[in-house]
Structure 1
Amino acid sequence: MGKQAGLSSIIKKETLSLNEEGGITVIAEILKAQRKKRGQTQQEVAEIFNVTRQTVSNWENEKNYPDVPTLVAISDYYEISLDYLMKGDAKYMAKMANEARLLQTIRIGLFSGICGGALLVFSIISFLTASNGGRLENIIPVQLLIVIAAIWLCVIHFKNLKEEMAAPIRTAASVFLLAALFVTLLCLMIFILAATGLIHF
């Protein structure tokens, strides 16, 4: 136990000194240095972190990066600051930032898509009801509420959009939402014209 504690202390000190000197700045180099310092093979490291030897090789050659839970396990095992591991690697930080942006874009896209789809369904139901002899004086107020909800949804959607978000998802969600707003407005106009006798179902 004493030897292990002493080794951990040495590793910590040398890691800090390397950080200050700028010698090791990426996760790949840190992992390789710590493995060699302990005299471990890639297979042994793979077994410790429940991954394949090829995965460890990919880490050390910057072909991919450990996921966050594995990175936490690496930090605990080698007794290296998680903050140092993550912030010391510009590529890894960029990867995490990209994933965060993509996740935020997907969330906004899903919210807008689901809500926009619901408004479309309600508008179609209103239209079918009117076509089958439904009372327009009851349908128009409901459709007006749907239009207000669509406008509110568009305001929320475009307020939360950011340029750095994934363009395909951002564009698809925006187009779909605008289409939903157009349909809801069109249905409202048709109902109003029908109520005034200008058109007939």
Structure 2
Amino acid sequence: MSQYRVISRPQAGVLETNKVLRNTYALLAMTLLFSAAAAGVSMSLDLPHPGVIITLVGYFGLLFLTNKFSHSAWGILFVFALTGFMGLTLGPILNLYLKHYANGGQLVATALGGTGLIFVGLSLYALASRKDFSFMGGMLMAGILVAFIAGLIGLFVPMPGLQIAVSAMFILLMSGMILWQTSEIVHGGENNYILATVSLYVAIFNLFTSLLQILGIFSNDD
């Protein structure tokens, strides 16, 4: 009789993985919508960009709080605070493209569509193939650090070539992060859906802004 209601380890692992996936994608969808709404509010009010320092302090501060409280309900609150804040910083950037490029709407739509295709395509590949991309973790962290530092340099030393290189690096790195994070969930390396959501959100956000920047640079309108 004790055999009934007993779930084997492999089956329990599959159930746990499916639960983390469902929770991650559900929370990711809600945070993306919330972030988009925040960006819409920022655009409609024509709010100025808060600047690099406030953006970095707000981002890393909220990211720290999200990680610290990732095992409690407070973690969900800080996830929405983080994604809402990033949405507010995105609004002025979108307004800049819409106002200064004759084809600004097309650029934004293309970047958005490209981001969606890349995310869905890579996610489906990681889920369907079930390949283990855990080996990419260290390389991704090192690459992101290098790209981040190069991006900071680009803010103070404007060079189109450097901006293109940094954006291209982030596109590749964020694509890799999507594969890595999805693989971590599938293979049980990540069982906290709050942390998984933040990781995927950051990848999507940076992927979108990097695509948008490259499209803007190569646009015929100056």
TM-score by length of 1: 0.31
Structure showing greater radius of gyration is 1
TM-score by length of 2: 0.29
Q: Which has the higher contact order (CA 8 A, sep 6+)?
A: 2
